[in-house]
Chains A and B, each alone.
Chain A
Amino acid sequence: MDRFAHRAANLLAGNSPQEATLECTMSGPHLLAEAPCLIAITGADFEPRVNGAPAPMWTGVFLAPGDRLTFGGRRSGARASIAVGGGFEGDRWLGSRSTSIMAGRGGMHGRTLAAGDALANASERPAPAVAGRHLPAGLRPDYSDHTLRAIPGPHVRRLDPEGRRLLFSALFTVSREADRMGYRLEGPALATSGEELLSFGLVAGAVQVPRSGQPILLMADHQTAGGYPVVATVISASMHVAAQLAPGDTLRFLQVTAAEANRRRLELSAALATLGSV
C-alpha cells in the first residue's frame, strides 16, 4: 500500500527497492531473529522495540540471533513496513511476491502470516550491509497531513458546480468499510448525473462515486474494471499518505495540476535516492 515506506525499508536494509517486505496493518508482530540480519522499519509508528528497548524507525538496525523485535501501541499511521537484508522469501504469482488473499496466491502461500511461521531470506548471500543508515527526518513523510492531492477525473463534469466545490474542499471520513481494495468515504453526498457508463479499466487512487453519492477511494488491491464515474484521481505522490489512513481518519482532496504531481513525485524519488539506487 505505502510504496514509499516499502522502498525506503528495502534500501535501508541494503536491498533493491522491489524485494518483499512485511506489511503490518494497525499493529506489529513479535519476531525472533534466528540468524544475524539487518532490518528496517518504516511507515506507521507502532512503537518498535528490540529486546524491549525503543528501536529507531527509518533506520537500518542489526539483529543478532535471539534478538526479539516487538511492537507497542499505534502512535501514527495504519501500515508499517519491515524489510530484511536479502529480502523475504515468498511464493511468486503474476511476477510478484505480494500476497493476494482473494486468489490465495503469493507471499506465504497466499495467506496472512500466523504465529510460528518461519520467514526465510530470498537471497542466500545478502549484499554487504551497514547498520545505522537512516532517512533524515526532513525527508520522512508527514503522515499527519491528510491532504490528498488529486487531478480531476474523466467524469468530473458529472458533478454539478456545487459537487465539484465540495469534492475539493469538504472533509471526508474513512468509514469502517476500508481495506486494501479501497476506502468508502463518509461526508457530503456527491450527486452525479448522466447515463450509466460502460465499464473501463481503473487505477489505484481513483475516486469513484456510486449512486449513493458516497465516494470510494480505490487502493492497491482495487477491482481492475468498473463503471462508476471517476471524479478525481489521487496523484502517485499522495498515495503513501492515503495508505496510512485508518477508519475514522479525516481527509480532504486538494486539486493540483499534472505538473505539480510530477514535481512531488520527483521529490519523493530524490528522497529515496539519498538511500542508494532507486
Chain B
Amino acid sequence: MGMVEKRLSTKTQVILTLIFIVVMALLLWWADKSFDSYKQRVLRLIGIYGIMAVSLNLINGITGIFSLGHAGFILIGAYTAAILTLTPQEKEMSYLFGIQEWVKNLHADFFTATLAAGFVAAGLAFLIGWPVLRLSGDYLAIASLGFAEIARIWANNALTITNGPLGLKAIPEYSTIWWIYGWLLFTVVFIASLVNSSYGRALKAIREDRIAAEAMGINVFKHQLMSFVVGAFFAGVSGSLYAHWLTTIDPRITTMGPMLTFYILIMIVLGGLGSITGSLIGAALFAILFEWLRDLEQPFTFFGIQVPGIPGMRILVISVIFILVMIFWQRGIMGREELTWNNLYRWLFARRKKEGERS
C-alpha cells in the first residue's frame, strides 16, 4: 500500500534494523564456521543472486523498463573483474591465442576490480541507454536482449582480450561470504534509499504512467537512464562476485547468456516485481530450489516407481512451481509490498485487533 502512515518511530526502526543486521552477521559467521563447503557455496550464491535480483528489480519492477539485458552487464562485470584479478603470468598461460599487452598488464586487488566492474557496466549502460531507452515495452525488451547477446558474442570473438570460447580459468575464489554479503548490504541500502526518496517516487510514477509523469515535470528519459545505470552498476558488481565464485567464466549461453537474465527475471517475478525484499526472497528461494531439486536428476523411486535420472528435470519442476505461484499469487510472493518493520507491526497489530473483535 504505497506509503503507509508511520506507526513506529524512525528511531525504533533504525535500532531494529541495526539489530537485524547484527543478528544476520552472527548467523553468517556461524554458517561460515559450521556449514560444509557445498552449503557455503549455495549460501554465497544466494547473496550473488540477491544483488542481481535487487538491481534488475530497480530497472524492471520499480521503473517499469522491461529490460532483458541484465546478463550483458553481469558478463561485462565478470570479465572486467576477472581480467583485473588474474596476474599477468596467469593470463599469459591461459590465453592460447595471444593477449594484448594492455590487457595482460592490468592488475588490481579484488575490491578495486569489483568497483571497476560496476563502473564499466554502468558506463556501458549509459551508452546503450541513449538509443535503447527511446523505445518502450516489447521493443525495449528485444533491444536490450540484443545488446546482451552482442556483449556475449563479443566475448566469444575478442580472442586477445577475453580468450574467446575458452574463457578465463583459475580465477581466484575471492568471493567470500563477507565480500558477497557486504556488497549485498550496500546494494540493498543504496537501492532502498533511492526508492524511498523523491527520486524513487518519480521512478514509480514513470512505471505507472509515463505521460502523466512527464506532465508533472519529470524528465522521464533522464530518470529512466539514471535507474538503468544504477541497476547496471550493481549488475557489474554481481558479475565480479559471480566470476570469483564460479572461478571459470566463458561466454556460453547458459553461464552468462540470456538464460541468466531469465533466471533473475524468475526470481524477481516470484518475489514480487517492485519489491526489494521480495527480490531477496525470490533469489533465496530460487537458489535453494535449484540446488535442492538436483536430486531429481538422479535416478530415484517415487511411490514404488523407478524413475531414471533425467537431466534438466529440475528446470521442469521449477517451471511447474513457478506456474503454480503465478496462479495463486499473481503478483508474486510479496506483490509490491515491502517487508518493513512498519508493515510487520501493522500485520501483527491488525491480526490481534481482528481476534479481539471476534472474542
Chain A bound to chain B: no
Chain B residues packing against A (C-beta within 8 Å) = none
Chain A contacts to B: CB under 8 angstroms: none
